[in-house]
Amino acid sequence: MALSKYPSAEAKEWWANFKKLLDDNNEWPGVYIFKFIALKQNIPDLKEVFVGHEIDIKASSKGKYQSLTSRVLVASSDEIIDIYLRAGAIEGVISL
């Protein structure tokens, strides 16, 4: 669920709950694993979100989609949410 410029109360509540879950179950700094699926043509935009971080890309069996996995050392749950929001702003990206 991505936040729009004017997020709904439901979206704000979802992200607040996700942040609490992250903070309750992790210690910062820590490594967080991100996984996304996108159309092949959208992978370059998704890679921009992870500049400076190691990423693994794997193509689907027919090659139309690709998955991206990245392990990122983050300082807080806010960094994780920021990455999800940036990735979610890219058309057709699905987070896993």
The parent domain of residue 91 ranges over 28-95
pTM for this one?
0.87
Rg (CA), the chain: 14
Number of domains in the chain: 1
Is the residue at 57 inside a domain? yes
Strands (DSSP E) contained in 1-96 are 30-39, 55-59, 65-74, 94-95
Q: Is residue 1 part of a domain?
A: no
Position 47 in a domain: yes
Supply the DSSP symbol for 8.
-
Distance between CA atoms of residues 43 and 57, nearest Å? 9
The H-or-E segment that residue 44 falls in is helix 43-49
Helix, strand or coil for residue 30?
strand
Q: pLDDT truncated to tens, each residue of the chain (96 aa)?
A: 444 555 688 889 999 999 999 999 999 999 999 999 999 999 999 999 999 999 999 999 999 999 999 999 999 999 999 999 999 999 989 999
What is the distance of C-alpha 4 from the center of its chain? Answer: 15
